[in-house]
Structure 1
Amino acid sequence: MTTDTPARLLQLLSLLQTPREWPGGELADRLGVSRRTVRRDIDRLRELGYPVQASKGSDGGYRLVAGKAMPPLVLDDEEAVAIAVGLRAGAGHAVEGVDEASVRALAKLEQVLPSRLRHRLSTLQAATTPLTSGDGARIAPETLTVMASTVAGQERLRFAYRAKDGTESRRLTEPYRLVSTGRRWYLVAYDLEREDWRTFRVDRVRDPFATGARFTPREVPQGDAAEYLRKSIQRQQETYEFEVTFAASAEFVAGRFPAFFGRPVEAEGGAAGCSLRGVTGDPVEWLAVRLAMVGCEFTVQGPGELVEYVRQLGGRLTRAAGAGDAG
């Protein structure tokens, strides 16, 4: 029997967060209290903002439903470790769909993990090796979580940084946003010692340290961190323009192609399909494969190197499929 009311409420909440309806009698048995106490505890949860719905009937079933805002979740040990492992796996590379919000969630979760669960998580991570490592540089999840926590808390961040030419330096920054390009993570921040905005590849960052000093956010150039990063990359590396038309709507393509490259626009004059013009420094081989993964017919307008590689790739894939049929 759980006699401590706060502990009992947490246990009740944990049960209700399982997607099913709980008869009042079963909840009473699980908690070791009377049905009347269960009803009082349900009322307390409602007062705290949890949308608990009661169904009519002799047993008075209860279930947690979606509300206007998401209340705090209560996770058991296995659930917490499972979520942390999943977020860490995605955060280790700049995987599409794993954006700054996911990294912030990982930072919050790892901050409150008990030491026993931290040990389980570390042991599991050390004992497993992913079959694929992606096409971007590996990043320690701890690096991202420290950065994400300083971004969310508007806290100055100090770290060691290795430039493209191998030069090492120490940086003191006001971190603004973490941005994923689909292959790499970047930090957009204001460099206090250089008195200017900078972008940093996170895989080149070492020993990030949250200083505890708060700051008032400045206005980022271009008004958007992703747009500032796009312009910065164009200045720093050799890039090329590309143009592609798709036999699908702009909404379809936008949901399946990295937003970092820009937004597709619908074809003019009521014609079907859309087009996309972008600038990238990625190899044409990677871009060709990424275009094919959109999942619709497309035509590359330029540049010529990309057109030629898509033609060669299409031929190889066609021959490979034919060889399979022949076998």
Structure 2
Amino acid sequence: MTTDTPARLLQLLSLLQTPREWPGGELAERLGVSRRTVRRDIDRLRELGYPVQSTKGSDGGYRLVAGKAMPPLVLDDEEAVAIAVGLRAGAGHAVEGVDEASVRALAKLEQVLPSRLRHRVSTLQAATTPLTSGDGASIAPETLTVMASTVAGRERLRFAYRAGDGTGSRRLTEPYRLVSTGRRWYLVAYDLDRDDWRTFRVDRVSEPFATGARFAPRELPTGSAAEYLRRSIQRRQETYEFTVAFAAPADVVAARLPTWLGTPEPEDGGSGPGCVVRGATGDPLEWLAIRLAMTDCDFVVREPVELVDCVRELGERLTRAGGA
């Protein structure tokens, strides 16, 4: 019998978070208490904001339902390890749909994981490898979680950084936001040594260290971290504006193309079957050509001419590779 009321409430909450209805008698047996005690514990959970729904009957039943706000989750060891491994695997690549919120969740979870579970998570991830990965470079999840923690806590961050030409440096920053482009993670931060805003590719960061020093957030020049990153990339790279017509509906293309490449728009005012994507990229045109082909939809490149040539050369190379 569990005589510690807080511990018993946590155990009861863990059972209720399983998507099923629990008869009162079964809950009493699991907890080693009377049905009357179960009813009192249910009332306590309701007072704490947990929406527990009860059903009438000879034995009665209880289940946790969706409420106006999400109360804290209670996870057992196996569930915590499974969630942490999944978040770490996703955070290692800038996968479409895995954004800063996922990294924040991972940072919160790993902060409270007991050491025995952290060891299990690390061991399991080290012993496995994914068959496929994102388009971008892989990143140590620990790097992302440290950065996410300093962003959320407004804490100065120190790290080693390797520039594109291989030059190494040490940076002391006031981190503002983590931004995912769909291929890579970037950190937008105020560089204290250079007294200006900077963007850093996270896969080039090593030895991230939260200094513990708090700071008052500065106002970003553009107001949006994503917009600041876009302008920063355009300044550093040769950017191509492109227009591509697809022989497929806009919703079909949108589901197969990263959102940051552009939003498909119906052609001819929506009367035709196809759509058009207009956007800009600083990535190599060879990569863009391959990414367009991966939509598995027929398309025609209208501009620029450099992308037209790139697609044509890629098609000829693939034709030769196929032995035709």
Question: TM-score, length-normalised on structure 2?
Answer: 0.91
- Show the counterpart of 1:304: 305
CA shift for structure 1 position 275: 2.5
SS in 2 for 1:189: strand
Say which is worse superposed, 18-27 or 308-317, in terms of deviation: 308-317
SS at match of 1:223: coil
The structural deviation recorded for 1:297 is: 4.2
Offset at residue 238 of structure 1 (A): 2.4
Secondary structure of 1:221's counterpart equals: coil
Which residue identity is paired with 1:283? P
Report the 3-state secondary structure (helix = DSSP H, G, I; strand = E; otherwise coil) of the residue aligned with 2:222.
Answer: helix
Deviation (angstroms), 1:229: 0.8
What CA distance in whole angstroms lies between the structure 2 residues aligned with 1:263 and 1:216?
A: 36
Which residue is 1:165 aligned to? Answer: 165
User: What's the offset of the Cα at 1:206?
Assistant: 1.2
CA separation in 2, counterparts of 1:315 and 1:225? 40
Is 2:102 aligned against 1:102? yes
Aligned to 1:207: 207
Shift of the 208–321 alpha-carbon distance from structure 1 to 2, 3 Å rule, reads same
The equivalent residue for 1:124 is 124
Q: Distance in 2 between matches of 1:286 and 1:46?
A: 54
* Structure 2 CA distance for partners of 1:319 and 1:70, relative to 1, 3 Å: farther
Q: Does 1:70 align with 2:70?
A: yes
The 1-side partners of 2:6 and 2:251 are apart by 47
Compared CA separation, residues 316 and 32, structure 1 to 2 (3 A): farther
Does residue 231 in structure 1 map to residue 227 in structure 2? no
In structure 2, give the amino acid aligned to 1:32: G
Kindly provide the amino acid, as one letter, of the partner of residue 286 in structure 1: W
Which has the larger displacement, 209-218 or 6-15?
209-218
Give unpaired runs (5+ residues) of structure 2.
Answer: none
Q: Residue 209 of structure 1: SS of its match in structure 2?
A: strand
CA distance in 2, matches of 1:79, 1:60: 28
Residues 298 and 46 of structure 1: is their aligned pair in 2 closer, same or farther, counting only changes over 3 Å? farther
Q: Residues 267-306 of structure 1: matches in 2 within 5 Å?
A: 267=267, 269-272=269-272, 273-294=274-295, 296-306=297-307
Deviation string, structure 1 residues 173-230 (Cα, Å, up to 9, x no partner): 1111111112111101111221211100001111111122222222223221111111
Question: Helix, strand or coil for the counterpart of 1:186?
Answer: strand
Taking the aligned partners of 1:235 and 1:287, their CA distance within structure 2 comes to 19
Helix, strand or coil at the partner of 1:165 = coil
CA distance in 1 between counterparts of 2:231 and 2:75 reads 42
Q: Which stretch of the first structure deviates more once superposed, 162-171 or 285-294?
A: 285-294
Separation in structure 1 between the aligned mates of residue 304 and residue 23 of structure 2, nearest angstrom: 65
Secondary structure at 1:137's aligned position in 2? Answer: coil
Residue 304 of structure 1 and its aligned partner are, at CA, apart by 2.8
Deviations 1:58-93 (A, max 9, x none): 211111111111111111111111111111111111
Q: Please name the residue that 2:29 is paired with.
A: 29
Q: Measure how far apart 1:257 and its partner are.
A: 2.5
Correspondence 1:141-180 to 2 at 5 A = 141-180=141-180
In the TM superposition, what is the alpha-carbon distance from 1:318 to its structure 2 partner? 8.5
Moved more, 181-190 or 238-247: 238-247
1:233 aligned partner, one-letter code: I
Tell me the distance in 1 between the aligned counterparts of 2:207 and 2:251.
41
The answer to whether the 8 Å contact 1:181/1:258 transfers is: no
Given the two structures, how large is their TM-score scaled by the length of structure 1? 0.90
- 1:214–1:248 distance in 2 versus 1, CA, 3 Å: farther
CA distance in 2: counterparts of 1:179 and 1:255, whole angstroms:
21
Distance 1:255 1:173, change over 3 A: farther
The match for 2:82 is: 82
Q: Residues 226 and 260 of structure 1 are in contact (CA less than 8 Å); yes or no, is this contact kept in structure 2? A: no
Matches within 5 A, 1:29-48: 29-48=29-48
Q: Which runs of 5+ in 1 are unaligned?
A: none
SS in 2 for 1:157: strand
Partner Cα separation in structure 2 for residue 176 and residue 264 of structure 1 = 31
2: CA distance, partners of 1:68 / 1:269: 41
Tell whether the 8 Å contact from 1:230 to 1:260 is kept in structure 2 after alignment: no
Partner of 1:10: 10
How far residue 161 of structure 1 moved from its aligned partner, in angstroms, is: 0.9
- Distance in 1 separating the partners of 2:36 and 2:316: 72
Deviation per CA, 1:222-258: give whole Å up to 9, x if none. Answer: 2211111111111112222211233455555444432
**Alpha-carbon distance in 2 for matches of 1:193, 1:57:** 69
Distance 1:110 1:138 in 2: 19
Alignment-mate amino acid for residue 215 of structure 1: F
